[in-house]
Amino acid sequence: MEKLTKRSAPVDRSPMTLKERIYLPALLKGMSITVGHIFKKKATVQYPEEKRSFSPVFRGLHILNRDEQGRERCTACGLCAVACPAEAITMEAAERKAGEQHLYREEKYAARYEINMLRCIFCGACEEACPKDAIYLSETVMPPNYTRESFIYKKEDLLIAKPKNDTQA
């Protein structure tokens, strides 16, 4: 009967030589590898005392940006929700009322804006799709949470107090 795979290798059953029976050369070779690793740089980071440096292209928590006057940039166009491959973004649009010009930039704004971080894959497609630069991924690591509801970030959680200028990017 022919074997289905060629993965099996024949076992060498020839008697061991004197060098193999002594085990000393193999033991010395193993010890030299061990001693060589002692003097190499450690890969472990002592976390609370030392912080790991991230790549410049690291994508962390989402932020809803404001303009220079402190108004919300998001116009609820929905392009970020459409571009999201994980369908993690949901939003509802509303019309700006009279006297709310200091709060919203355009006539239409996002009355409800939520990102489900359990579904988000941090791909950055929402950031690329936004025509108003309203959303971007910051360099902040997502904090640990213990309930599913705390992973759904609402508009109030995503808005920042001071705007991000193009020079800060």
Task: Say if residue 160 carries a ligand binding annotation.
Answer: no
Q: Which amino acid is at 27?
A: L
Contacts of range 89-95, beta carbons closer than 8 Å, 24 or more positions apart: 89/113, 89/114, 89/115, 89/116, 89/126, 90/114, 90/116
Task: Say if residue 80 carries a ligand binding annotation.
Answer: yes
Can you count the helices (H) and strands (E) in the chain?
A: 5, 5
Task: Say if residue 77 carries a ligand binding annotation.
Answer: yes
Task: Say if residue 100 carries a ligand binding annotation.
Answer: no
Task: Say if residue 11 carries a ligand binding annotation.
Answer: no
Task: Say if residue 120 carries a ligand binding annotation.
Answer: yes
Helix (H) or strand (E) run with residue 27 in it:
helix 24-38
Residue numbering of the annotated binding site for [4Fe-4S] cluster: 74, 77, 80, 84, 120, 123, 126, 130
Residue numbering of the annotated binding site: 74, 77, 80, 84, 120, 123, 126, 130
